[in-house]
Structure 1
Amino acid sequence: MNGDWLLRGRDGRLSVYLPSGDAVLCRAERGPGAPWGTPRKVGGEQRLHPGFAVGRGVDGYAHLVAWRPTVKGESGLVHSTHFRPHLAALDWQSIGHPNRKGEVTGAPAVAVDAAGRAHVFVRNQGRGLSMVAQKEKGGWEPWRDLKGRLVEDGLAAVTGESGRVEVYAAVPGGIVYWRQEEAGKPPVQLEALEAPVRPGTLTALATSAESTTLYYTDESGDLCAWRPGGKPYSLLPSAGPGPVAAVRCELDGYDCTLLAQRSASGRVAFAAYPTQDERAGAWWTESGPQLPADARVALTTDEAGRVTAASLSPSTGQFLLTGRKDEPGLALEAWRQL
């Protein structure tokens, strides 16, 4: 699962996207703060490969991308839009292959610009970066090769507060950064950072009107924060493997960034600090029960702006949820299984 798979929809309902064999399921609240409904299959009956990406537009619509088998030995990418959690998503639509045809080349990532157009990024057969984007009035533009070399799997795509799309990729010994310089234009490579990054640990978040922040784990095990144009900052030791979840929220009247990750102990660890003020420091606080080794963590805010956290184990189907109590600090309700 790549991207924000726990989302707040346009109508205020929370929803979660779940892997289920050769399909993707959506489970949503029956109303904001109401009990959760049963899971529903997304996009019709097409058979999918494991793994999918999710991106949310400012309109609250969810865009999903996955690989599907086509002919023997080949696969292609498909896209679906989910306008409201309680409605059926659109059927999966083919958007092709970055090399016209071939097998799966890497996990996709998707970001949605200010006009509601999905931008899909994926590593290509040459281990560069390719992109395909929706047209303003329907349909899809041709695939574009954004170049790059030795791109690792685990892209992080994000939409800045400007509404322009950005993407980060790990490469041997560093990170490469692409951004749209104008709305509707393809992203261009603007910067490369030399850093001992661990592939598969990238998460990006819009943190101001001018910038996004990339979180990654370096080879020493430290969780680092980097904003293009500056230097990376070592924030604190990573709580566990894999990428962190990140969300901006208000805590006691302050604009904060909250991070969450499955820790080495198996519980969910949380850390918060003033947004873009890494020097203020952060530390982990663990919460909830021990989780399976493959459990992932997601963060969002509900209709009232309160933090909601979820954990999901694809191997067991265990889905746990908690939310912030209505009291100072980051006190959380008891985790509950849905």
Structure 2
Amino acid sequence: MSRKIAFGIAAVLALLATCGAPPPRDPARPEPPPQAHHAQVTAHPDDDLLFMNPDLAEGLRSGRPTTGIYLTAGEAAVPDQAGYSAARQEGTRAAYAQMVRKPNEWLRGTMPVGHGRLAEVDTLRADPDVRLVFLNLPEDANPQQGRHALSRLRHDPALTVTTTVPAGAAVPHPQLFDRRAVVESITALLDAFQPTVVRLQDDQPDRRYQSNWVGAHNHPDHVAGAALAKEALAAHRPRAFSPMVLTYRDYNVADTPSALSDEDKGTTREAFAAYAVHDVLAKGGIYRSWSDNSAYRWPRGGRWAARSEDGVVRAFSVRAHGLARWTRTPQGVWNGPELMPLPEPLRPHVTLLGEGREQPVLVAQSEDGARILVLRQERSGIWPRRWEVVDAPGAADPVQNGLPATTVDSDGRIVLAVKNAAGGVSIRRELSPASQRWQPWSDLGGTDVQDGVSIVPGGGGVVHVFATTREQVLHWEVPRTGDARAEAVPIGPARPAGAPVTERARDGLIRLLVRTDRGGELVERTLTPQGWRDGPVTSPGTGGIGDPVAAGPGPHGVAELVRVARDGAGNVHVADRAGAGWVDVGGSVTDHPAAIVEPNGDITLVGLGFDGGLVVNTGAQGPGGLRFAGWRPGVVAPPVSAAGTD
């Protein structure tokens, strides 16, 4: 790229940042579909390399524009803070060049981020769609600013801090920032770059782990930086549609089994090795415990889309500014997205109860974990604005409550199950169908339960609840009344390294799928009326982050479950029977797709593309099994604004 073009890009970015966010979109002049663009907001150079891979590397290698935004200079408490922070930033440049497989040559400049402040922006010479942005706020351990500067900024609007100036920095002078300036600067960057996918660190770490980080259970900069980035996202004004947000666990991945494949581990190790050459403190085996594991803090799961009794398919996605909704008519035409308002910020996991129901029900959770929110579609087809609030299990720190698993029992009542703040499992049912009145929470027990509980209905009002610890899979058979029966499910020599995935197959038997620490190998068990069928069935892992999806049977066609998984590059793989080899159906999506079983037995995969739009891929039943037609946009028309009906 010529220097003239580079300066042209810089000028455009500067104009965007100087002029502020774009004006509201005129609905009479539809915007073109947004270009896929990833942005990571992290506290330190190397955080994205360790905790957001293999997603980060594979996105870069696929050619998607990517911007890394680093809040602190990462200078620590070393004597030569200017030299050490400069070395860490050089390591970040080297790692990005390694991941995108281009020469480590960068154009270094600045852009305004509001009120006379500047950020350094480095652009990869061989690929100008790869950028790194450094704000150089003081790192947690910096004694010259007083320890915990970013954490104190988060909680004290009156506090000001001075940036660190790395040796040779494009912004050669220190700058003053207060809390408002930090949020405004991140917002200005989001407004300028218009990402469609934003990756964040974990601001709600599991307090059972990393007790060495007193009070934070994570690096304090990770927690504070992610919280400030969320505030900036709320203020961000996208020109097209609200971005998706993916949150990644940080240090505590070292405390849990890893489901990454050897290939995915190699991807992260290679990127970090390119960085570590420049960081004299990046030594020791602890880094391998982070590079060899990766996990989403709040995965979407596979039940965010469903087909209801009226033949309409609905899909929902929590976004930075609301709840995106798509609908497919009984004639197969997709519409949307419509951005529905939210009563409060939500965690990204939503469950749509639609199969066999005349009126679907949407179940979500407040971001602070204290409330489960239920939205029931009215008979008129309208989704009301008012959500029903169901208190989550009581806890001194409700943030530690896990994501709700939801089903409908054979009596027609909604049943909720969550990992509670104590590390066990709690369950709650409606008093009667659609009554909006609930029984009290019942504690099923359990210890060391990991996030991601699964629930599936049985006969006679029974529900089956599954959870994983770091050592085993737990199963409770919960009757309509009376005590639950608990057991450990034998899965062989491996340890579970993900949430349990359960579904009822066409033969009426419950299938359990769980990833393990043997390279993500998938173990499957079948629960019969006589107990667990002898011997687990295993399938090789597909790689990547996140758990598989199981598609239950329709009225015709598949007798078995269809298993869907996503590899480290986001490519989707399908297996139509236990132990079968994975078939790559082409294309790639963010997080995990949902699977819809059509009335004729076909399977429609519903995913979210990296541009934030809905994509679909239908597999037809044939003599050789399912044959998929390939991914295509679900909706060709531009997005529209919020509305209430399908």
TM-score range, shorter chain: 0.7 to 0.9
Of 71, 76, 80 in structure 1, the residue corresponding to residue 375 of structure 2 is: 80
CA distance in 1, matches of 2:416, 2:448: 19
Q: What residue number does 2:429 align with?
A: 133
Give the residue type in structure 1 aligned to 2:574: F
Out of 311, 316, 320, the residue aligned to residue 607 of structure 2 is 311
Residues 74 and 335 (structure 1 numbering): CA distance in 2 closer, same or farther, change over 3 Å?
A: closer
Q: Does 2:531 match 1:233?
A: no
- 1:236-247 paired onto structure 2 within 5 Å: 236-240=539-543, 241-247=545-551
Q: In structure 2, how many angstroms separate the alpha carbons of the residues matched to 1:40 and 1:185?
A: 41
Which structure 2 residues correspond to residues 110-259 of structure 1 after superposition, within 5 A? 110-136=406-432, 138=435, 139-160=437-458, 164-181=462-479, 184-185=480-481, 188-195=484-491, 196-207=494-505, 211-220=509-518, 221-228=520-527, 229-230=531-532, 231-240=534-543, 241-249=545-553, 255-259=559-563
> Relative to structure 1, is the Cα distance of residues 178 and 209 closer, same or farther in structure 2, using a 3 angstrom cutoff?
farther
Please give the secondary structure, in 2, of the residue aligned with 1:295.
strand
Does the 8 Å contact 1:9/1:84 carry over to 2?
Answer: no
User: Is the alpha carbon distance of 1:212 and 1:90 closer, same or farther for their aligned partners in structure 2, counting shifts above 3 Å?
Assistant: farther
Shift of 1:60: 4.9
Whether contact under 8 Å (1:19, 1:25) holds in the other structure is: yes
Tell me the TM-score normalised to structure 2 length: 0.46
- 2:595 maps to 1:289: no
- 1:98, CA displacement in angstroms? 0.3
* Equivalent in the alignment of 2:308: 9
Match of 1:18 in 2: 317
Alpha-carbon distance, 1:84 to partner: 7.1
Aligned mates of 2:552, 2:380 — CA distance in 1? 22
Map 1:30-45 → 2, pairs under 5 A: 31-41=329-339, 45=342
Partner of 1:46: 343
2:428 counterpart SS class? strand
Match of 1:98 among 379, 385, 393: 393
Once the 2 structures are TM-superposed, how far is the Cα of residue 186 of structure 1 from its aligned partner? 6.4
Task: Return the alpha-carbon distance in structure 2 between the equivalents of residues 19 and 180 of structure 1.
Answer: 31
Q: Who is 2:41 aligned against? A: none
Q: Which amino acid aligns with 1:179?
A: E
Q: CA deviation at 1:268?
A: 0.9
Q: Distance in 2 between matches of 1:23 and 1:189?
A: 40
Distance 2:502 2:604 in 1: 19
Structure 1 residue 332: deviation in Å? 1.6
Distance 1:2 1:134, change over 3 A: farther
C-alpha contact 2:503 2:550 (8 A) present in aligned 1: yes
Deviates more, 1:172-181 or 1:208-217: 208-217
Alignment of 1:263-274 (within 5 A): 263-273=567-577
8 Å CA contact retained: 1:166, 1:187: no
Return the alpha-carbon distance in structure 2 between the equivalents of residues 133 and 143 of structure 1: 8
Query: CA shift at 1:61, angstroms?
Result: 4.1
Cα distance in 1 between the residues matched to 2:604 and 2:460: 25
Pick closer, same or farther for the CA change 1:180–1:327 going to 2, 3 Å: same
Is structure 2 residue 600 aligned with structure 1 residue 298? Answer: no
Cα gap change, 1:258 to 1:45, in 2 (>3 Å): closer
* Residue 86 of structure 1, CA deviation: 5.0
Separation in 2, partners of 1:326, 1:84: 34
**CA drift at 1:252:** 10
Supply the distance in 1 between the matched residues of 2:617 and 2:458 (Cα, whole angstroms). 27
- Distance of 2:363 and 2:315 partners within structure 1: 15
In structure 1, give the amino acid aligned to 2:343. Answer: Q
1:305 is displaced (CA, Å) by 3.4
Residue 330 of structure 1: SS of its match in structure 2? strand
| Cα drift, residue 12 of structure 1 | 0.5
Shift of 1:160: 3.4
Residues 467 and 499, structure 2, Cα contact 8 Å, conserved in 1: no
Amino-acid identity (%): 22
Q: Is the 8 A contact 1:297 1:309 kept in 2?
A: yes
Amino acid at match of 2:547: P
Q: Offset at 1:218?
A: 1.4
Which one of 351, 362, 368 corresponds to residue 64 of structure 1?
Answer: 362
Unaligned 5+ segments in structure 2 are 1-299, 635-646
Deviation at 1:50, TM superposition (A): 2.1
* Equivalent residue for 1:261, pick from 565, 569, 573: 565
- Residues 252 and 130 (structure 1), Cα distance of their counterparts in 2 relative to 1, 3 Å cut: closer
Q: What is the alpha-carbon distance in structure 1 between the residues aligned to residue 517 and residue 576 of structure 2?
A: 23
CA distance in 1: counterparts of 2:422 and 2:371, whole angstroms: 16
The C-alpha deviation readout for 1:132-182, integer Å capped at 9, x for no partner, is 21111621111111111111101111223666321100012101111233x
**Structure with more strand by fraction:** 1
Alpha carbons 1:25, 1:39 under 8 Å: kept: yes
Length-normalised TM-score, structure 1: 0.83
Higher RCO (C-alpha under 8 Å, 6+ residues apart):
2
Question: How far has the Cα of 1:223 moved from its partner?
Answer: 0.7
Q: Distance in 2 between matches of 1:330 and 1:127?
A: 40
Match of 2:616 in 1: 321
Distance 1:212 1:319, change over 3 A: same
Figure out how many residues of one structure are paired with residues of the other and give that number: 322
Q: 1:9 to 1:58 in 2, by over 3 A?
A: closer
Report SS of the residue matched to 1:38: strand
Moved more, 210-219 or 55-64: 55-64
Q: Is the 8 A contact 1:225 1:233 kept in 2?
A: yes
Q: Distance in 1 between matches of 2:308 and 2:380?
A: 6
How far the C-alpha of 1:185 sits from its partner, in A, is 2.8
Structure of larger gyration radius: 2
- What CA distance in whole angstroms lies between the structure 2 residues aligned with 1:204 and 1:76? 24
Asked whether the equivalents of residues 408 and 457 of structure 2 are also in contact (C-alpha less than 8 Å), the reply is yes
SS in 1 for 2:601: coil
Offset of residue 100 of structure 1: 5.7
CA distance in 1, matches of 2:339, 2:482: 32
